[in-house]
Amino acid sequence: MSCIDVTHLSKSYGSIKAVDDIVLSVKPGQVFGFLGPNGAGKSTTIKLLTTLIPPSNGSLTILGVDAIKNPLEIRHKIGVVLQQPSYEPTLSVEKSLDKYGMMWNVPKNERKKRMEQLLKDFDLVKIRKKRNEDLSIGQRRRVQVAREFMHDMDLLFLDEPTVGLDPSARRKLLDYLKNKVKTGLTIFYTTHILTEAEYLCDEIAIIDKGKIITVDSPEALKNKFGKEKTIKIHLLEKTPKISNLLEGIPDCKINFESGTNIVIHSEQSELVLLKILKILNDNNIEIEDLSAIPINLEEIFLKMVRKN
């Protein structure tokens, strides 16, 4: 059984279709990445999935429960970290965690235990007595994410949770989430940072203009859309005639930078490279450095969104 089953889901605001006929299925125990440019419909989709807003059309089943008929039942089983900060300004960090656990009906002793653990896991021990309003954006974000782990859940929605975090805190959070997934938690994760999605997600959906363009694993996406490679050649000396020599090589796009750098984009990179190396050799042009860069998720993402 899927954790999330979405069929022909739409949400309109007047004549604007924020989410347009999307179909999704998220398997239990996986991290499902949801990517898209600003205004693509990511946050609206999260609001629909977390039952914050009702859909205009379509059906939505979360953890086997009809989200349109029984939203409250679903909200008992999920955790949500929304994109916007959420905090009680006058409460201290530890009081925030404790009160949040209380709101979720976690027994007092259990709350204390979890709070101490989360304070350690999220590096909040030193600031545990500080009021939320006195924290930095990154600290506040850490409290917001940590707070969600005060209660039990089967499915966690994270809407750009690493916004405002420094690289070290970001990596710690991703590793923390990876460990949580190993215990059976399912995560629905939206982000703009594609390296995060690549590091964390088992499956990725790309949404643009309210429609899902593609859904697949990061590796499959790279294989599907990432045949094109970039090859960079750095010549030992400036060679003004180089553009003339390489002119006419088929199936590739070549850029020349400052007379010593050649950047080649091609889906048949091996063949193209062989041809270029032969020309360079025939003309006694020496190479200082050569590197081949496989396409990354960011390039696939940009390519797909541009195409859409």
Q: Which residues bind other proteins (CB under 8 A)?
A: 47, 50-53, 72, 75-76, 78, 80, 82, 84-91, 95, 99, 102-105
Query: Which residue, 6 or 215, is less far from other proteins as judged by CB?
Result: 6
Query: Which residue, 32 or 157, is less far from other proteins as judged by CB?
Result: 157
Residue 84, class by beta-carbon neighbours within 10 Å (0-12 exposed, 13-18 middle, 19+ buried)? exposed
Query: Which residue, 45 or 51, is less far from other proteins as judged by CB?
Result: 51
To other proteins, the closest distance from the beta carbon of 99 in angstroms equals 5
Please give the Cα distance from 142 to 269 (Å, whole number).
Answer: 44
DSSP lists the bridge partners of residue 21 as none
Q: How many CA atoms lie within 13 A of 158 on its CB side?
A: 31
Query: Which residue, 48 or 273, is less far from other proteins as judged by CB?
Result: 48
To other proteins, the closest distance from the beta carbon of 186 in angstroms equals 16
To other proteins, the closest distance from the beta carbon of 210 in angstroms equals 17
Asked if 76 and 51 touch (Cβ cutoff 8 Å), the reply is: no
Asked if 197 and 175 touch (Cβ cutoff 8 Å), the reply is: no
To other proteins, the closest distance from the beta carbon of 105 in angstroms equals 6
CA angle 258/260/264 to nearest 5° reads: 95
Radius of gyration of the chain (CA): 24
The residue to which tokens 């059906």 are assigned: 59
To other proteins, the closest distance from the beta carbon of 307 in angstroms equals 32
Query: Which residue, 64 or 89, is less far from other proteins as judged by CB?
Result: 89
Asked if 20 and 209 touch (Cβ cutoff 8 Å), the reply is: yes
Asked if 89 and 144 touch (Cβ cutoff 8 Å), the reply is: no
To other proteins, the closest distance from the beta carbon of 100 in angstroms equals 9
Query: Which residue, 96 or 230, is less far from other proteins as judged by CB?
Result: 96
Asked if 37 and 43 touch (Cβ cutoff 8 Å), the reply is: no
To other proteins, the closest distance from the beta carbon of 217 in angstroms equals 28
Query: Which residue, 41 or 218, is less far from other proteins as judged by CB?
Result: 41
Q: Which amino acid is at 190?
A: T
**Nearest by Cα to 41 from 175, 228, 213:** 213
Please give the Cα distance from 221 to 213 (Å, whole number).
Answer: 12
